[in-house]
Amino acid sequence: MSAIDNVYAARSKDRPTGMAYINNIFTDFTELHGDRRYGDDKAIVGGLAYFNDIPVTVIAHEKGTDTKSRVARNFGSAHPEGYRKALRLMKQAEKFSRPVICFVDTSGAYCGIGAEERGQGQSIAENISEMMALKTPIISIFIGEGGSGGALALAVANEVWMLQKAVYSVISPEGCASILYKDAKLASVAAENLKLRAEDLYKLRVIEKIIPEKDGKDHSETYEFIKRELNAALIRYMNMTGDELYRNRYNKFRQIGNQGVI
Protein backbone atom coordinates (compact mmCIF):
# COMPACT_ATOMS: atom_id res chain seq x y z
CA MET A 1 0.00 0.00 0.00
CA SER A 2 1.36 3.42 -0.96
CA ALA A 3 1.68 6.10 1.71
CA ILE A 4 -1.22 8.16 0.34
CA ASP A 5 -3.46 5.07 0.16
CA ASN A 6 -2.52 4.41 3.78
CA VAL A 7 -3.70 7.94 4.61
CA TYR A 8 -7.03 7.33 2.87
CA ALA A 9 -7.43 4.03 4.74
CA ALA A 10 -6.76 5.76 8.06
CA ARG A 11 -9.45 8.32 7.25
CA SER A 12 -12.04 5.76 6.17
CA LYS A 13 -15.49 6.30 7.66
CA ASP A 14 -15.77 2.54 8.12
CA ARG A 15 -12.95 2.34 10.68
CA PRO A 16 -13.95 1.73 14.31
CA THR A 17 -13.91 4.91 16.39
CA GLY A 18 -12.51 5.40 19.86
CA MET A 19 -15.75 4.33 21.55
CA ALA A 20 -15.75 1.05 19.61
CA TYR A 21 -12.34 0.19 21.07
CA ILE A 22 -13.44 1.18 24.56
CA ASN A 23 -16.61 -0.93 24.37
CA ASN A 24 -14.85 -3.99 22.95
CA ILE A 25 -11.72 -4.01 25.13
CA PHE A 26 -12.84 -2.71 28.53
CA THR A 27 -15.74 -3.37 30.87
CA ASP A 28 -17.87 -1.13 33.08
CA PHE A 29 -16.82 2.07 31.31
CA THR A 30 -18.10 5.17 33.10
CA GLU A 31 -17.63 8.40 31.15
CA LEU A 32 -16.57 11.54 33.02
CA HIS A 33 -17.18 15.01 31.64
CA GLY A 34 -15.76 18.51 31.66
CA ASP A 35 -12.46 20.27 32.24
CA ARG A 36 -13.67 22.15 35.37
CA ARG A 37 -12.78 25.41 33.62
CA TYR A 38 -14.96 25.95 30.56
CA GLY A 39 -17.02 23.00 29.34
CA ASP A 40 -17.19 19.46 28.01
CA ASP A 41 -15.64 18.71 24.62
CA LYS A 42 -17.33 15.74 22.93
CA ALA A 43 -14.37 15.24 20.57
CA ILE A 44 -12.59 13.55 23.48
CA VAL A 45 -14.23 10.93 25.66
CA GLY A 46 -12.71 9.67 28.87
CA GLY A 47 -13.53 7.91 32.06
CA LEU A 48 -13.05 4.91 34.30
CA ALA A 49 -13.15 1.26 33.25
CA TYR A 50 -11.87 -2.18 34.08
CA PHE A 51 -9.39 -4.21 32.08
CA ASN A 52 -9.08 -7.79 33.35
CA ASP A 53 -10.25 -6.57 36.77
CA ILE A 54 -7.61 -3.81 36.74
CA PRO A 55 -9.10 -0.31 37.21
CA VAL A 56 -7.85 1.96 34.41
CA THR A 57 -8.47 5.41 32.99
CA VAL A 58 -9.37 5.38 29.29
CA ILE A 59 -9.22 8.46 27.04
CA ALA A 60 -10.00 8.57 23.32
CA HIS A 61 -10.57 10.89 20.41
CA GLU A 62 -14.07 10.22 19.08
CA LYS A 63 -15.00 11.21 15.51
CA GLY A 64 -18.58 9.94 15.53
CA THR A 65 -20.26 7.32 13.35
CA ASP A 66 -22.77 9.29 11.26
CA THR A 67 -23.27 12.86 10.09
CA LYS A 68 -25.11 14.02 13.21
CA SER A 69 -22.64 12.49 15.67
CA ARG A 70 -19.61 13.63 13.64
CA VAL A 71 -20.80 17.22 13.77
CA ALA A 72 -21.46 16.91 17.52
CA ARG A 73 -17.99 15.39 18.01
CA ASN A 74 -16.40 18.03 15.76
CA PHE A 75 -14.98 15.18 13.64
CA GLY A 76 -12.56 14.33 16.43
CA SER A 77 -10.82 17.73 16.41
CA ALA A 78 -10.63 18.75 20.05
CA HIS A 79 -10.85 22.19 21.62
CA PRO A 80 -8.65 23.23 24.58
CA GLU A 81 -11.28 22.01 27.03
CA GLY A 82 -11.01 18.54 25.52
CA TYR A 83 -7.28 18.35 26.22
CA ARG A 84 -7.79 19.86 29.67
CA LYS A 85 -10.42 17.21 30.39
CA ALA A 86 -7.95 14.54 29.31
CA LEU A 87 -5.26 15.97 31.57
CA ARG A 88 -7.66 16.20 34.50
CA LEU A 89 -8.43 12.49 34.11
CA MET A 90 -4.73 11.62 33.81
CA LYS A 91 -3.89 13.46 37.01
CA GLN A 92 -6.77 11.71 38.72
CA ALA A 93 -5.41 8.38 37.46
CA GLU A 94 -1.99 9.22 38.88
CA LYS A 95 -3.52 10.02 42.28
CA PHE A 96 -5.22 6.61 42.44
CA SER A 97 -2.43 4.63 40.67
CA ARG A 98 -4.56 3.72 37.66
CA PRO A 99 -2.87 3.05 34.29
CA VAL A 100 -3.87 5.42 31.47
CA ILE A 101 -4.84 4.04 28.05
CA CYS A 102 -5.26 6.52 25.18
CA PHE A 103 -6.75 5.93 21.73
CA VAL A 104 -5.66 8.55 19.19
CA ASP A 105 -7.67 9.36 16.06
CA THR A 106 -7.71 13.00 14.95
CA SER A 107 -6.76 15.04 11.92
CA GLY A 108 -5.52 17.66 14.39
CA ALA A 109 -6.64 19.99 17.15
CA TYR A 110 -9.43 22.40 16.24
CA CYS A 111 -7.95 25.58 14.79
CA GLY A 112 -10.84 28.02 15.18
CA ILE A 113 -10.67 31.49 16.71
CA GLY A 114 -12.49 30.45 19.88
CA ALA A 115 -10.10 27.58 20.50
CA GLU A 116 -7.12 29.89 20.11
CA GLU A 117 -8.68 32.46 22.44
CA ARG A 118 -9.14 29.75 25.08
CA GLY A 119 -5.50 28.65 24.82
CA GLN A 120 -5.30 25.77 22.36
CA GLY A 121 -1.51 25.81 22.07
CA GLN A 122 -1.03 26.17 25.80
CA SER A 123 -3.38 23.27 26.58
CA ILE A 124 -1.52 20.95 24.19
CA ALA A 125 1.86 22.03 25.57
CA GLU A 126 0.66 21.46 29.13
CA ASN A 127 -0.51 17.94 28.27
CA ILE A 128 2.84 17.09 26.72
CA SER A 129 4.74 18.41 29.74
CA GLU A 130 2.52 16.78 32.34
CA MET A 131 2.32 13.42 30.57
CA MET A 132 6.10 13.18 30.42
CA ALA A 133 6.30 13.35 34.22
CA LEU A 134 3.14 11.38 35.08
CA LYS A 135 3.94 8.68 37.62
CA THR A 136 1.55 6.05 36.34
CA PRO A 137 1.80 3.83 33.22
CA ILE A 138 0.61 5.32 29.92
CA ILE A 139 -0.08 3.37 26.71
CA SER A 140 -1.19 5.32 23.61
CA ILE A 141 -2.63 3.54 20.57
CA PHE A 142 -3.12 5.18 17.16
CA ILE A 143 -6.29 3.73 15.65
CA GLY A 144 -6.68 6.04 12.63
CA GLU A 145 -5.31 9.50 11.94
CA GLY A 146 -2.62 10.99 14.12
CA GLY A 147 -2.41 14.63 13.21
CA SER A 148 0.19 17.01 14.67
CA GLY A 149 -0.09 18.38 18.21
CA GLY A 150 -3.68 17.26 18.41
CA ALA A 151 -2.43 13.68 18.43
CA LEU A 152 0.75 14.29 20.43
CA ALA A 153 -1.30 15.73 23.31
CA LEU A 154 -2.47 12.16 24.03
CA ALA A 155 0.65 10.32 22.89
CA VAL A 156 3.46 11.05 25.35
CA ALA A 157 3.45 7.49 26.66
CA ASN A 158 5.67 4.71 27.92
CA GLU A 159 4.74 2.87 24.74
CA VAL A 160 3.07 4.08 21.54
CA TRP A 161 1.37 1.50 19.32
CA MET A 162 -0.18 1.92 15.88
CA LEU A 163 -2.66 -0.03 13.86
CA GLN A 164 -1.20 -1.23 10.60
CA LYS A 165 -3.23 1.25 8.54
CA ALA A 166 -3.02 4.19 10.94
CA VAL A 167 -0.86 7.26 10.24
CA TYR A 168 1.03 9.73 12.43
CA SER A 169 2.45 12.97 11.08
CA VAL A 170 3.24 16.57 11.97
CA ILE A 171 1.02 17.74 9.08
CA SER A 172 -1.41 16.29 6.54
CA PRO A 173 0.05 15.35 3.13
CA GLU A 174 -2.19 17.96 1.50
CA GLY A 175 -0.99 20.67 3.86
CA CYS A 176 2.64 19.67 3.43
CA ALA A 177 2.34 19.67 -0.37
CA SER A 178 0.68 23.10 -0.34
CA ILE A 179 3.54 24.55 1.73
CA LEU A 180 6.55 22.81 0.21
CA TYR A 181 5.46 22.27 -3.38
CA LYS A 182 2.82 25.00 -3.68
CA ASP A 183 0.46 22.34 -5.03
CA ALA A 184 -1.89 20.21 -2.89
CA LYS A 185 -2.17 17.77 -5.80
CA LEU A 186 1.32 16.53 -4.90
CA ALA A 187 0.00 15.09 -1.64
CA SER A 188 1.10 11.59 -2.67
CA VAL A 189 4.71 12.77 -2.94
CA ALA A 190 4.49 14.52 0.42
CA ALA A 191 2.97 11.42 2.03
CA GLU A 192 5.94 9.29 0.99
CA ASN A 193 8.44 11.84 2.31
CA LEU A 194 6.63 12.37 5.62
CA LYS A 195 7.30 8.76 6.72
CA LEU A 196 3.87 8.63 8.32
CA ARG A 197 3.13 4.91 8.03
CA ALA A 198 3.42 2.52 10.94
CA GLU A 199 6.34 0.62 9.39
CA ASP A 200 8.24 3.88 8.83
CA LEU A 201 7.67 5.06 12.38
CA TYR A 202 8.63 1.67 13.82
CA LYS A 203 11.98 1.89 12.03
CA LEU A 204 12.49 5.39 13.41
CA ARG A 205 11.64 4.10 16.91
CA VAL A 206 8.77 6.55 17.26
CA ILE A 207 6.44 3.63 18.04
CA GLU A 208 7.03 0.31 19.77
CA LYS A 209 4.40 -1.94 18.20
CA ILE A 210 2.41 -2.38 14.98
CA ILE A 211 -1.05 -3.90 15.43
CA PRO A 212 -2.10 -6.04 12.44
CA GLU A 213 -5.38 -5.30 10.68
CA LYS A 214 -7.57 -7.38 8.39
CA ASP A 215 -9.73 -6.06 5.57
CA GLY A 216 -13.46 -6.03 6.16
CA LYS A 217 -15.79 -5.00 8.94
CA ASP A 218 -14.91 -7.70 11.46
CA HIS A 219 -12.38 -6.16 13.84
CA SER A 220 -12.60 -8.78 16.57
CA GLU A 221 -9.07 -10.06 15.94
CA THR A 222 -7.70 -6.53 16.30
CA TYR A 223 -9.47 -6.11 19.62
CA GLU A 224 -8.16 -9.46 20.86
CA PHE A 225 -4.60 -8.62 19.78
CA ILE A 226 -4.74 -5.35 21.72
CA LYS A 227 -6.12 -7.15 24.78
CA ARG A 228 -3.23 -9.62 24.81
CA GLU A 229 -0.57 -6.97 24.32
CA LEU A 230 -2.16 -4.59 26.79
CA ASN A 231 -2.31 -7.27 29.45
CA ALA A 232 1.41 -7.99 29.08
CA ALA A 233 2.30 -4.29 29.05
CA LEU A 234 0.32 -3.48 32.18
CA ILE A 235 1.86 -6.37 34.09
CA ARG A 236 5.29 -5.07 33.12
CA TYR A 237 4.73 -1.39 33.88
CA MET A 238 2.64 -1.73 37.02
CA ASN A 239 5.65 -3.26 38.76
CA MET A 240 7.64 -0.05 38.20
CA THR A 241 7.87 2.84 40.64
CA GLY A 242 6.76 6.34 39.64
CA ASP A 243 10.34 7.44 39.11
CA GLU A 244 11.08 4.37 36.96
CA LEU A 245 8.03 5.09 34.80
CA TYR A 246 9.15 8.69 34.32
CA ARG A 247 12.69 7.66 33.35
CA ASN A 248 11.36 4.99 31.01
CA ARG A 249 9.18 7.54 29.22
CA TYR A 250 11.95 10.14 29.10
CA ASN A 251 14.44 7.66 27.63
CA LYS A 252 11.92 6.51 25.02
CA PHE A 253 11.63 9.99 23.56
CA ARG A 254 15.35 10.72 23.82
CA GLN A 255 16.22 7.73 21.63
CA ILE A 256 13.81 8.46 18.76
CA GLY A 257 15.68 8.40 15.46
CA ASN A 258 18.99 7.32 17.01
CA GLN A 259 19.37 4.36 14.70
CA GLY A 260 20.51 6.75 11.96
CA VAL A 261 17.64 6.34 9.48
CA ILE A 262 16.32 9.78 8.54
H or E stretch at 2: none
243: three-class secondary structure by DSSP: helix
Residue 259's pLDDT band (boundaries 50, 70, 90)? low
Q: What is the pLDDT of residues 127-167, one digit of tens each?
A: 999 999 999 999 999 999 999 899 999 999 999 999 999 99
Sequential DSSP letters for 136-194 = S-EEEEEEEEEBHHHHHTT--SSEEEEETT-B-BSS-HHHHHHHHTS-GGGHHHHHHHH
Query: Phi then psi for 239, rounded to 5 degrees?
Result: -85, -5
Integer Cα distance of 41 and 216 in angstroms? 31
Contact present, 71 and 111 (Cβ < 8 Å)? no
Residue 262's pLDDT band (boundaries 50, 70, 90)? very low
What integer pLDDT is reported at residue 261 of this predicted model?
47
pTM, entire model:
0.94
Q: Is the pLDDT of residue 208 over 50?
A: yes
Average model confidence (pLDDT) for the chain? Answer: 93
Beta strands in 77-119 (DSSP E): 100-106
